[in-house]
Structure 1
Amino acid sequence: MDKTLITFLFLIYIALLLPSPSTSQNTFNCSRATFYGSPNCPPSYRGACGYGELGREIYGSDVAAAHRLYRGGAGCGACYQVRCANPELCSADGVDVVITDFGIGDDTDFILSARAYAKLAQPYLAARLMAYGVLDIEYRRIACKYPGYNMMIKIKENSNYPSYLAIIIIYRAGQKDIIDIEIWQEDCKAWRKMRKPYGDVWDMENPPRGVPLTLRCLIDGVDGQKWVLLDAAIPSDWQAGAAYDASLQLD
Protein backbone atom coordinates (compact mmCIF):
# COMPACT_ATOMS: atom_id res chain seq x y z
CA MET A 1 0.00 0.00 0.00
CA ASP A 2 1.24 3.51 -0.82
CA LYS A 3 2.94 5.18 2.19
CA THR A 4 1.00 8.43 1.65
CA LEU A 5 -2.31 6.53 1.82
CA ILE A 6 -1.19 4.69 4.96
CA THR A 7 -0.30 8.01 6.62
CA PHE A 8 -3.68 9.50 5.62
CA LEU A 9 -5.61 6.54 7.04
CA PHE A 10 -3.58 6.69 10.24
CA LEU A 11 -4.43 10.39 10.74
CA ILE A 12 -8.13 9.67 10.23
CA TYR A 13 -7.90 6.89 12.84
CA ILE A 14 -6.26 9.23 15.35
CA ALA A 15 -8.90 11.93 14.70
CA LEU A 16 -11.68 9.46 15.43
CA LEU A 17 -10.08 8.60 18.77
CA LEU A 18 -9.85 12.20 19.91
CA PRO A 19 -12.73 13.56 22.04
CA SER A 20 -15.30 15.69 20.28
CA PRO A 21 -14.85 19.44 20.79
CA SER A 22 -18.56 19.77 21.60
CA THR A 23 -19.51 20.24 25.27
CA SER A 24 -22.66 20.08 27.36
CA GLN A 25 -23.20 23.74 26.40
CA ASN A 26 -24.16 22.85 22.83
CA THR A 27 -25.45 19.30 23.23
CA PHE A 28 -29.15 18.76 23.96
CA ASN A 29 -30.40 15.90 26.13
CA CYS A 30 -33.82 14.29 25.81
CA SER A 31 -36.23 14.19 28.76
CA ARG A 32 -39.77 15.17 29.84
CA ALA A 33 -41.23 18.19 31.60
CA THR A 34 -44.44 19.15 33.36
CA PHE A 35 -45.52 22.26 35.31
CA TYR A 36 -46.97 23.47 38.61
CA GLY A 37 -49.36 26.29 39.47
CA SER A 38 -51.07 28.41 36.84
CA PRO A 39 -49.98 31.48 34.84
CA ASN A 40 -52.53 33.71 36.58
CA CYS A 41 -52.25 32.39 40.14
CA PRO A 42 -48.70 31.43 41.12
CA PRO A 43 -48.52 29.29 44.28
CA SER A 44 -46.84 30.22 47.52
CA TYR A 45 -43.27 29.00 47.49
CA ARG A 46 -40.66 27.57 49.86
CA GLY A 47 -38.42 25.38 47.73
CA ALA A 48 -35.76 22.79 48.55
CA CYS A 49 -32.90 25.07 47.43
CA GLY A 50 -33.58 27.47 50.30
CA TYR A 51 -34.26 30.62 48.25
CA GLY A 52 -37.64 31.34 49.84
CA GLU A 53 -39.94 33.56 47.80
CA LEU A 54 -36.98 34.63 45.66
CA GLY A 55 -37.05 31.11 44.23
CA ARG A 56 -40.41 31.90 42.64
CA GLU A 57 -39.56 35.39 41.39
CA ILE A 58 -35.93 35.17 40.25
CA TYR A 59 -35.13 35.02 36.52
CA GLY A 60 -38.44 36.68 35.71
CA SER A 61 -40.24 33.75 37.37
CA ASP A 62 -38.92 31.37 34.70
CA VAL A 63 -37.96 28.79 37.30
CA ALA A 64 -38.11 25.02 37.66
CA ALA A 65 -37.87 22.18 40.10
CA ALA A 66 -35.47 19.44 39.03
CA HIS A 67 -35.11 15.75 39.78
CA ARG A 68 -31.79 14.25 38.67
CA LEU A 69 -30.40 17.70 37.85
CA TYR A 70 -30.93 18.80 41.47
CA ARG A 71 -27.76 16.85 42.32
CA GLY A 72 -28.21 16.97 46.07
CA GLY A 73 -28.51 20.75 45.93
CA ALA A 74 -25.42 21.34 43.77
CA GLY A 75 -27.76 21.99 40.83
CA CYS A 76 -29.53 24.87 42.57
CA GLY A 77 -28.99 28.09 40.63
CA ALA A 78 -28.04 26.30 37.39
CA CYS A 79 -29.71 27.54 34.20
CA TYR A 80 -31.04 25.46 31.31
CA GLN A 81 -32.55 26.01 27.90
CA VAL A 82 -35.63 23.80 27.59
CA ARG A 83 -37.61 23.30 24.40
CA CYS A 84 -40.27 20.82 23.30
CA ALA A 85 -40.30 18.81 20.11
CA ASN A 86 -43.75 19.49 18.60
CA PRO A 87 -43.14 22.07 15.82
CA GLU A 88 -46.88 22.72 15.43
CA LEU A 89 -47.18 23.99 19.01
CA CYS A 90 -43.68 24.69 20.29
CA SER A 91 -41.36 27.63 19.75
CA ALA A 92 -37.92 26.92 18.33
CA ASP A 93 -36.02 28.52 21.23
CA GLY A 94 -38.16 27.30 24.12
CA VAL A 95 -37.45 28.92 27.48
CA ASP A 96 -34.45 29.55 29.71
CA VAL A 97 -35.04 28.56 33.34
CA VAL A 98 -33.11 28.45 36.61
CA ILE A 99 -33.34 25.56 39.09
CA THR A 100 -34.72 26.69 42.46
CA ASP A 101 -36.37 23.53 43.82
CA PHE A 102 -36.43 19.73 43.88
CA GLY A 103 -39.37 17.81 42.44
CA ILE A 104 -40.31 14.43 41.00
CA GLY A 105 -42.94 14.34 38.26
CA ASP A 106 -44.10 11.68 35.80
CA ASP A 107 -40.62 10.53 34.73
CA THR A 108 -39.65 14.18 34.27
CA ASP A 109 -36.40 16.06 34.78
CA PHE A 110 -38.15 19.43 34.99
CA ILE A 111 -41.26 20.70 36.75
CA LEU A 112 -41.51 24.17 35.27
CA SER A 113 -43.38 27.13 36.65
CA ALA A 114 -46.59 27.60 34.67
CA ARG A 115 -45.16 30.83 33.27
CA ALA A 116 -42.06 29.05 31.95
CA TYR A 117 -44.08 26.12 30.60
CA ALA A 118 -46.32 28.49 28.65
CA LYS A 119 -43.23 30.02 27.02
CA LEU A 120 -42.48 26.68 25.37
CA ALA A 121 -45.41 27.35 23.05
CA GLN A 122 -45.68 29.37 19.89
CA PRO A 123 -47.61 32.64 20.25
CA TYR A 124 -51.28 32.19 21.23
CA LEU A 125 -50.90 28.40 21.61
CA ALA A 126 -49.94 28.20 25.30
CA ALA A 127 -53.36 26.95 26.41
CA ARG A 128 -53.25 24.08 23.92
CA LEU A 129 -49.75 23.14 24.98
CA MET A 130 -50.55 23.22 28.69
CA ALA A 131 -53.43 20.83 28.12
CA TYR A 132 -50.85 18.12 27.47
CA GLY A 133 -49.62 18.29 31.06
CA VAL A 134 -46.40 16.38 30.34
CA LEU A 135 -44.20 16.98 27.30
CA ASP A 136 -41.22 15.36 25.66
CA ILE A 137 -38.49 17.97 25.75
CA GLU A 138 -34.81 18.48 25.14
CA TYR A 139 -32.55 20.58 27.28
CA ARG A 140 -29.00 21.83 27.68
CA ARG A 141 -27.22 23.73 30.42
CA ILE A 142 -26.50 27.36 29.61
CA ALA A 143 -24.83 30.30 31.35
CA CYS A 144 -27.09 32.20 33.73
CA LYS A 145 -27.41 35.92 33.00
CA TYR A 146 -28.29 38.62 35.51
CA PRO A 147 -27.73 41.94 33.71
CA GLY A 148 -27.00 44.75 36.13
CA TYR A 149 -26.41 42.42 39.09
CA ASN A 150 -23.26 41.40 40.87
CA MET A 151 -23.33 38.15 42.77
CA MET A 152 -24.90 38.74 46.20
CA ILE A 153 -24.68 37.04 49.59
CA LYS A 154 -28.13 36.66 51.16
CA ILE A 155 -28.21 36.10 54.93
CA LYS A 156 -30.90 33.55 55.72
CA GLU A 157 -33.73 34.73 57.96
CA ASN A 158 -33.03 31.97 60.50
CA SER A 159 -29.51 33.31 61.11
CA ASN A 160 -28.90 34.52 64.67
CA TYR A 161 -26.36 37.33 65.02
CA PRO A 162 -23.61 36.79 66.05
CA SER A 163 -23.69 33.08 66.94
CA TYR A 164 -25.17 31.41 63.84
CA LEU A 165 -24.76 32.39 60.19
CA ALA A 166 -26.55 30.83 57.22
CA ILE A 167 -26.14 32.19 53.69
CA ILE A 168 -27.14 31.68 50.07
CA ILE A 169 -25.13 33.13 47.20
CA ILE A 170 -27.63 34.46 44.67
CA TYR A 171 -27.54 36.04 41.20
CA ARG A 172 -24.67 33.80 40.13
CA ALA A 173 -24.02 34.38 36.45
CA GLY A 174 -22.19 31.96 34.20
CA GLN A 175 -22.19 28.18 34.16
CA LYS A 176 -20.44 27.20 37.38
CA ASP A 177 -21.32 25.35 40.60
CA ILE A 178 -20.21 26.35 44.09
CA ILE A 179 -18.98 23.14 45.74
CA ASP A 180 -17.31 24.52 48.88
CA ILE A 181 -17.25 27.73 50.94
CA GLU A 182 -14.79 28.71 53.66
CA ILE A 183 -14.54 31.74 56.01
CA TRP A 184 -11.24 33.27 57.06
CA GLN A 185 -10.60 33.06 60.82
CA GLU A 186 -8.14 35.90 61.43
CA ASP A 187 -7.20 34.98 65.01
CA CYS A 188 -6.24 31.44 63.93
CA LYS A 189 -4.85 32.47 60.53
CA ALA A 190 -6.85 29.63 58.94
CA TRP A 191 -9.82 28.96 56.70
CA ARG A 192 -12.89 27.36 58.33
CA LYS A 193 -15.27 25.27 56.24
CA MET A 194 -18.93 26.13 56.11
CA ARG A 195 -21.46 23.30 56.29
CA LYS A 196 -24.03 22.66 53.57
CA PRO A 197 -27.16 21.49 55.43
CA TYR A 198 -29.47 21.42 52.39
CA GLY A 199 -30.08 22.84 48.95
CA ASP A 200 -27.94 25.91 48.23
CA VAL A 201 -27.63 26.92 51.90
CA TRP A 202 -24.26 27.19 53.69
CA ASP A 203 -24.01 27.74 57.45
CA MET A 204 -21.62 28.01 60.40
CA GLU A 205 -21.91 28.05 64.17
CA ASN A 206 -19.93 30.79 65.92
CA PRO A 207 -18.57 32.62 62.88
CA PRO A 208 -15.78 35.17 63.39
CA ARG A 209 -16.96 38.24 65.32
CA GLY A 210 -16.11 41.91 65.28
CA VAL A 211 -14.63 41.95 61.76
CA PRO A 212 -16.02 41.90 58.20
CA LEU A 213 -16.18 38.31 56.97
CA THR A 214 -13.97 37.20 54.09
CA LEU A 215 -15.13 34.13 52.18
CA ARG A 216 -13.68 31.98 49.47
CA CYS A 217 -15.77 29.78 47.20
CA LEU A 218 -14.58 26.70 45.34
CA ILE A 219 -16.06 27.00 41.86
CA ASP A 220 -16.50 24.05 39.51
CA GLY A 221 -17.12 24.70 35.81
CA VAL A 222 -16.28 23.54 32.31
CA ASP A 223 -12.76 24.94 32.75
CA GLY A 224 -12.12 23.08 36.03
CA GLN A 225 -12.10 24.13 39.67
CA LYS A 226 -10.74 27.30 41.26
CA TRP A 227 -11.10 29.34 44.45
CA VAL A 228 -12.76 32.75 44.21
CA LEU A 229 -12.07 35.24 47.02
CA LEU A 230 -14.88 37.43 48.41
CA ASP A 231 -12.87 39.88 50.50
CA ALA A 232 -14.73 41.48 53.43
CA ALA A 233 -17.96 40.56 51.67
CA ILE A 234 -20.15 40.40 54.82
CA PRO A 235 -20.03 43.34 57.28
CA SER A 236 -19.16 42.70 60.91
CA ASP A 237 -22.67 43.77 61.99
CA TRP A 238 -24.51 41.57 59.46
CA GLN A 239 -28.26 41.18 59.81
CA ALA A 240 -30.59 38.25 59.15
CA GLY A 241 -32.52 38.75 55.91
CA ALA A 242 -30.05 41.26 54.47
CA ALA A 243 -28.27 40.81 51.12
CA TYR A 244 -24.73 42.07 50.51
CA ASP A 245 -23.09 42.83 47.16
CA ALA A 246 -20.09 40.58 46.51
CA SER A 247 -18.68 43.15 44.02
CA LEU A 248 -17.96 40.51 41.36
CA GLN A 249 -19.56 37.99 39.03
CA LEU A 250 -18.60 34.42 38.09
CA ASP A 251 -19.07 34.64 34.31
Structure 2
Amino acid sequence: MHLQFSSNLNLFFFFGLTLKLALLQTAVGQLQHHKLDQHWYPGTATWYGDPEGDGSTGGACGYGTLVDVKPLRARVGAVGSVLFMKGEGCGACYKVKCLDNSICSRRAVTVIITDECPGCPTDQTHFDLSGAAFGHMAISGENGQLRNRGQIPVIYRRTPCKYPGKKIAFHVNEGSTPFWLSLLVEFEDAEGDIGTMHIRENGSSEWLQMNHLWGANWCIIGGPLRGPFSVKLSSSTGRSLSARDVIPTNWVPKATYTSRLNFYP
Protein backbone atom coordinates (compact mmCIF):
# COMPACT_ATOMS: atom_id res chain seq x y z
CA MET A 1 0.00 0.00 0.00
CA HIS A 2 2.83 2.39 0.81
CA LEU A 3 4.51 1.68 -2.54
CA GLN A 4 1.23 2.19 -4.40
CA PHE A 5 0.63 5.48 -2.59
CA SER A 6 4.14 6.71 -3.45
CA SER A 7 3.66 5.72 -7.08
CA ASN A 8 0.36 7.61 -7.28
CA LEU A 9 1.92 10.62 -5.57
CA ASN A 10 4.80 10.66 -8.06
CA LEU A 11 2.36 10.33 -10.93
CA PHE A 12 0.26 13.19 -9.55
CA PHE A 13 3.40 15.34 -9.18
CA PHE A 14 4.47 14.52 -12.76
CA PHE A 15 1.13 15.49 -14.27
CA GLY A 16 1.00 18.64 -12.12
CA LEU A 17 4.45 19.66 -13.29
CA THR A 18 3.56 18.91 -16.91
CA LEU A 19 0.42 21.06 -16.62
CA LYS A 20 2.40 23.96 -15.12
CA LEU A 21 4.96 23.76 -17.92
CA ALA A 22 2.23 23.70 -20.54
CA LEU A 23 0.55 26.75 -19.01
CA LEU A 24 3.89 28.54 -18.82
CA GLN A 25 4.63 27.76 -22.48
CA THR A 26 1.17 29.04 -23.43
CA ALA A 27 1.71 32.28 -21.50
CA VAL A 28 5.13 32.79 -23.07
CA GLY A 29 3.67 32.06 -26.50
CA GLN A 30 0.94 34.64 -25.95
CA LEU A 31 3.49 37.24 -24.89
CA GLN A 32 5.58 36.51 -27.98
CA HIS A 33 2.43 36.63 -30.11
CA HIS A 34 1.74 40.16 -28.93
CA LYS A 35 5.34 41.33 -29.32
CA LEU A 36 6.50 43.57 -32.14
CA ASP A 37 9.67 42.76 -34.05
CA GLN A 38 11.89 45.59 -32.82
CA HIS A 39 15.12 44.62 -34.58
CA TRP A 40 16.84 47.31 -36.63
CA TYR A 41 16.86 46.80 -40.41
CA PRO A 42 18.60 48.71 -43.24
CA GLY A 43 16.70 51.02 -45.56
CA THR A 44 16.76 54.36 -47.34
CA ALA A 45 14.87 57.60 -46.82
CA THR A 46 13.89 60.73 -48.74
CA TRP A 47 11.53 63.59 -47.93
CA TYR A 48 8.63 65.37 -49.62
CA GLY A 49 6.38 68.37 -49.21
CA ASP A 50 7.52 71.64 -47.65
CA PRO A 51 11.00 71.67 -46.03
CA GLU A 52 9.52 72.14 -42.54
CA GLY A 53 6.11 70.79 -43.48
CA ASP A 54 3.94 67.94 -42.24
CA GLY A 55 4.13 65.89 -45.43
CA SER A 56 1.08 64.91 -47.41
CA THR A 57 -2.45 66.18 -47.05
CA GLY A 58 -4.61 63.12 -46.56
CA GLY A 59 -2.60 60.26 -47.98
CA ALA A 60 -3.26 56.75 -49.25
CA CYS A 61 -4.37 55.47 -45.83
CA GLY A 62 -7.39 57.77 -45.77
CA TYR A 63 -6.70 59.68 -42.54
CA GLY A 64 -7.63 62.94 -44.23
CA THR A 65 -7.06 66.12 -42.22
CA LEU A 66 -5.84 64.14 -39.20
CA VAL A 67 -2.34 64.24 -40.71
CA ASP A 68 -2.31 68.03 -40.31
CA VAL A 69 -2.89 68.09 -36.55
CA LYS A 70 -1.28 66.56 -33.49
CA PRO A 71 -0.55 63.81 -32.63
CA LEU A 72 0.06 62.91 -36.30
CA ARG A 73 1.31 66.31 -37.41
CA ALA A 74 4.93 66.32 -38.66
CA ARG A 75 5.25 62.63 -37.81
CA VAL A 76 3.72 61.22 -40.97
CA GLY A 77 5.56 59.10 -43.45
CA ALA A 78 5.00 57.35 -46.75
CA VAL A 79 6.51 53.95 -47.43
CA GLY A 80 7.08 51.75 -50.43
CA SER A 81 5.19 48.54 -51.14
CA VAL A 82 7.40 46.48 -48.79
CA LEU A 83 5.88 48.12 -45.70
CA PHE A 84 2.66 49.57 -47.14
CA MET A 85 1.35 46.08 -47.96
CA LYS A 86 -1.62 47.36 -49.99
CA GLY A 87 -2.76 49.43 -47.02
CA GLU A 88 -2.44 46.80 -44.32
CA GLY A 89 0.64 48.63 -43.01
CA CYS A 90 -1.34 51.84 -42.39
CA GLY A 91 -1.13 53.12 -38.82
CA ALA A 92 2.08 51.26 -37.94
CA CYS A 93 4.81 53.28 -36.21
CA TYR A 94 8.53 53.12 -36.94
CA LYS A 95 11.69 54.61 -35.55
CA VAL A 96 13.99 55.79 -38.35
CA LYS A 97 17.64 56.70 -37.74
CA CYS A 98 20.11 58.26 -40.17
CA LEU A 99 23.49 56.50 -40.54
CA ASP A 100 25.55 59.50 -41.70
CA ASN A 101 27.27 60.60 -38.49
CA SER A 102 28.83 63.63 -40.19
CA ILE A 103 25.48 65.39 -40.35
CA CYS A 104 23.01 63.26 -38.39
CA SER A 105 22.50 63.01 -34.67
CA ARG A 106 22.04 59.70 -32.90
CA ARG A 107 18.40 60.61 -32.44
CA ALA A 108 15.79 58.50 -34.21
CA VAL A 109 12.57 60.02 -35.46
CA THR A 110 9.26 58.24 -34.85
CA VAL A 111 6.90 58.25 -37.83
CA ILE A 112 3.38 56.97 -38.43
CA ILE A 113 2.57 55.35 -41.76
CA THR A 114 -0.18 57.42 -43.37
CA ASP A 115 0.71 57.29 -47.05
CA GLU A 116 2.16 55.18 -49.86
CA CYS A 117 5.17 56.05 -51.98
CA PRO A 118 4.30 54.58 -55.40
CA GLY A 119 7.59 55.65 -57.00
CA CYS A 120 9.79 54.32 -54.22
CA PRO A 121 12.12 51.35 -54.84
CA THR A 122 10.41 47.96 -54.69
CA ASP A 123 13.57 45.95 -54.00
CA GLN A 124 14.33 47.63 -50.67
CA THR A 125 12.59 49.26 -47.73
CA HIS A 126 12.15 52.97 -48.31
CA PHE A 127 10.66 55.81 -46.27
CA ASP A 128 9.50 59.10 -47.79
CA LEU A 129 9.20 61.36 -44.75
CA SER A 130 7.73 64.78 -44.15
CA GLY A 131 10.30 67.56 -44.35
CA ALA A 132 9.99 68.14 -40.60
CA ALA A 133 10.52 64.47 -39.70
CA PHE A 134 13.46 64.12 -42.08
CA GLY A 135 15.18 67.22 -40.70
CA HIS A 136 14.62 66.03 -37.14
CA MET A 137 17.38 63.44 -37.65
CA ALA A 138 20.04 66.13 -38.28
CA ILE A 139 22.46 67.52 -35.73
CA SER A 140 21.54 70.95 -34.44
CA GLY A 141 21.49 73.59 -37.16
CA GLU A 142 21.99 71.14 -40.05
CA ASN A 143 18.35 70.40 -40.90
CA GLY A 144 18.54 72.16 -44.25
CA GLN A 145 21.86 70.58 -45.18
CA LEU A 146 20.50 67.12 -44.43
CA ARG A 147 17.48 67.72 -46.65
CA ASN A 148 19.87 68.82 -49.40
CA ARG A 149 21.35 65.31 -49.38
CA GLY A 150 18.15 64.01 -50.91
CA GLN A 151 18.32 60.27 -50.24
CA ILE A 152 20.15 58.92 -47.20
CA PRO A 153 20.86 55.47 -45.72
CA VAL A 154 18.89 54.68 -42.57
CA ILE A 155 18.05 51.90 -40.19
CA TYR A 156 14.51 51.39 -38.96
CA ARG A 157 12.46 49.27 -36.57
CA ARG A 158 8.86 48.90 -35.46
CA THR A 159 7.92 50.77 -32.32
CA PRO A 160 4.66 50.90 -30.36
CA CYS A 161 2.34 53.75 -31.33
CA LYS A 162 1.44 56.00 -28.40
CA TYR A 163 -1.42 58.47 -28.33
CA PRO A 164 -1.69 59.74 -24.73
CA GLY A 165 -5.21 60.79 -23.85
CA LYS A 166 -6.65 59.41 -27.09
CA LYS A 167 -9.14 56.58 -27.46
CA ILE A 168 -9.79 54.53 -30.58
CA ALA A 169 -12.33 56.24 -32.83
CA PHE A 170 -14.34 55.04 -35.81
CA HIS A 171 -15.07 57.41 -38.68
CA VAL A 172 -18.08 56.45 -40.79
CA ASN A 173 -17.01 57.06 -44.36
CA GLU A 174 -19.00 59.12 -46.81
CA GLY A 175 -21.41 57.02 -48.85
CA SER A 176 -22.15 54.56 -46.04
CA THR A 177 -25.70 53.20 -45.87
CA PRO A 178 -27.51 50.53 -43.84
CA PHE A 179 -26.55 48.16 -46.68
CA TRP A 180 -22.90 49.21 -47.12
CA LEU A 181 -21.03 50.41 -44.06
CA SER A 182 -17.42 51.61 -44.26
CA LEU A 183 -15.28 52.57 -41.26
CA LEU A 184 -11.90 54.24 -40.81
CA VAL A 185 -10.04 53.47 -37.58
CA GLU A 186 -8.29 56.38 -35.86
CA PHE A 187 -5.76 56.64 -32.99
CA GLU A 188 -5.16 52.92 -32.52
CA ASP A 189 -2.08 52.70 -30.35
CA ALA A 190 0.24 49.73 -29.60
CA GLU A 191 0.81 47.98 -32.97
CA GLY A 192 -1.19 50.67 -34.75
CA ASP A 193 -2.24 48.49 -37.68
CA ILE A 194 -5.30 46.29 -38.17
CA GLY A 195 -5.24 42.55 -38.79
CA THR A 196 -8.98 41.82 -38.69
CA MET A 197 -12.15 43.77 -37.97
CA HIS A 198 -15.66 42.61 -37.07
CA ILE A 199 -18.98 44.32 -36.36
CA ARG A 200 -21.97 43.22 -34.29
CA GLU A 201 -25.49 44.52 -34.77
CA ASN A 202 -27.91 45.53 -32.06
CA GLY A 203 -29.44 42.51 -30.32
CA SER A 204 -27.15 40.01 -32.07
CA SER A 205 -24.48 37.73 -30.63
CA GLU A 206 -22.83 37.18 -34.03
CA TRP A 207 -19.69 39.03 -35.05
CA LEU A 208 -19.75 39.80 -38.77
CA GLN A 209 -16.42 40.01 -40.54
CA MET A 210 -15.55 43.28 -42.25
CA ASN A 211 -13.40 43.35 -45.37
CA HIS A 212 -10.32 45.46 -45.93
CA LEU A 213 -11.32 48.10 -48.47
CA TRP A 214 -8.26 50.33 -48.91
CA GLY A 215 -5.75 52.04 -46.64
CA ALA A 216 -7.11 51.96 -43.09
CA ASN A 217 -10.70 51.59 -44.31
CA TRP A 218 -12.88 48.53 -43.80
CA CYS A 219 -16.40 47.75 -45.00
CA ILE A 220 -19.26 45.30 -44.74
CA ILE A 221 -22.07 44.58 -47.19
CA GLY A 222 -25.37 43.30 -45.80
CA GLY A 223 -28.53 44.58 -44.51
CA PRO A 224 -30.24 46.40 -43.61
CA LEU A 225 -27.68 46.66 -40.81
CA ARG A 226 -29.17 47.76 -37.49
CA GLY A 227 -27.34 49.91 -34.96
CA PRO A 228 -26.04 50.48 -32.44
CA PHE A 229 -22.93 48.65 -33.58
CA SER A 230 -20.17 47.10 -31.53
CA VAL A 231 -16.78 46.88 -33.23
CA LYS A 232 -14.04 44.33 -32.58
CA LEU A 233 -10.59 44.77 -34.06
CA SER A 234 -7.28 42.98 -33.78
CA SER A 235 -3.77 44.10 -34.64
CA SER A 236 -1.27 42.26 -36.83
CA THR A 237 0.10 40.47 -33.76
CA GLY A 238 -3.33 39.27 -32.62
CA ARG A 239 -3.93 41.77 -29.83
CA SER A 240 -7.67 42.54 -29.81
CA LEU A 241 -10.36 44.65 -28.17
CA SER A 242 -14.11 45.20 -28.53
CA ALA A 243 -15.88 48.55 -28.33
CA ARG A 244 -19.48 47.92 -27.30
CA ASP A 245 -22.24 49.96 -28.97
CA VAL A 246 -19.66 52.51 -30.10
CA ILE A 247 -21.63 53.52 -33.20
CA PRO A 248 -25.14 54.67 -32.20
CA THR A 249 -28.47 53.84 -33.77
CA ASN A 250 -28.75 57.29 -35.35
CA TRP A 251 -25.28 57.22 -36.93
CA VAL A 252 -24.62 59.39 -39.96
CA PRO A 253 -21.95 59.29 -42.70
CA LYS A 254 -18.86 61.48 -42.17
CA ALA A 255 -19.31 61.40 -38.38
CA THR A 256 -16.64 60.10 -35.99
CA TYR A 257 -17.57 58.06 -32.92
CA THR A 258 -15.00 57.70 -30.14
CA SER A 259 -14.78 54.62 -27.94
CA ARG A 260 -13.70 54.47 -24.30
CA LEU A 261 -10.92 52.04 -25.09
CA ASN A 262 -7.40 51.76 -26.40
CA PHE A 263 -4.74 49.08 -26.14
CA TYR A 264 -2.79 51.17 -23.65
CA PRO A 265 -4.56 52.54 -20.53
TM class by shorter-chain length? 0.7 to 0.9
- Equivalent in the alignment of 1:9: none
Q: In 2, are the aligned partners of 1:181 and 1:215 still within 8 Å (CA)?
A: yes
Asked whether the 8 Å contact 1:34–1:110 carries over to 2, the reply is yes
Name the residue aligned to 1:84.
Answer: 98
Q: 134, 137, 150: which one pairs with 2:151?
A: 134
Q: Which secondary structure does the structure 1 equivalent of 2:114 belong to?
A: strand
Of 39-48 and 162-171, the range deviating more from structure 2: 39-48
Specify which structure has the higher proportion of strand: 1
C-alpha distance 164-24 of structure 1, shift in aligned 2 (>3 A): closer
Q: Which residue of 2 aligns with 1:93?
A: 107
Partner AA of 1:243 in structure 2:
T
The alpha carbon displacement at 1:186 in A equals 4.7
For normalisation by structure 1, the TM-score amounts to 0.81
What is the number of residues matched between the two proteins? 226
Question: Residues 101 and 86 (structure 1 numbering): CA distance in 2 closer, same or farther, change over 3 Å?
Answer: same
- Cα–Cα, structure 1 residues 81 and 207, in superposed 2: closer, same or farther, change >3 Å? farther
Following the alignment from structure 2 to structure 1, what is the Cα–Cα distance between the partners of residues 233 and 53?
A: 37
From the superposition, tell whether residues 181 and 208 of structure 1 become closer, same or farther in structure 2 (CA, over 3 Å): farther
Map of 2:131 onto structure 1: 114
Q: What runs of 5+ residues in structure 1 fail to find an aligned partner?
A: 1-20
Q: Which residue of 2 aligns with 1:59?
A: 72
Does 1:39 pair with 2:56?
no
Find the counterpart in structure 2 of residue 17 from structure 1.
Answer: none
In structure 2, stretches of 5+ residues that fail to align are 1-31
Give the alignment partner of residue 237 of structure 1, picking from 250, 253, 258: 250
Structure 2 CA distance, aligned partners of 1:43 and 1:113?
4
Match in the other structure for 1:154: 171
TM-score, structure 2 as length reference? 0.77
CA contact (8 A) 1:35 1:111 kept: yes
TM-superposition CA deviations, 1:64-86 (whole Å, max 9, x none): 11111112212100001101011
Query: Per-residue CA shift, 1:77-112, capped at 9, x if unaligned?
Result: 000110101122112122100000111325551010
Say whether residues 1:220 and 2:236 are aligned partners.
yes
| Whole-angstrom distance in 2 between the partners of 1:194 and 1:135 | 39
Q: Which moved more, 1:171-180 or 1:128-137?
A: 171-180
Task: Please give the secondary structure, in 2, of the residue aligned with 1:178.
Answer: coil
Q: Distance in 1 between matches of 2:248 and 2:259?
A: 11
1:105 aligned to which of 96, 120, 133: 120
> For residues 13-52 of structure 1, what are the alpha-carbon distances to aligned partners after superposition, in whole Å with 9 as ceiling and x for unaligned?
xxxxxxxx9x765421111000111135666623211212
Q: CA–CA distance in 2 between the matches of 1:78 and 1:236?
A: 31
Checking the alignment, whether the CA contact within 8 Å between 2:61 and 2:90 is kept in structure 1 is yes
Q: Percent same amino acid at aligned positions?
A: 29
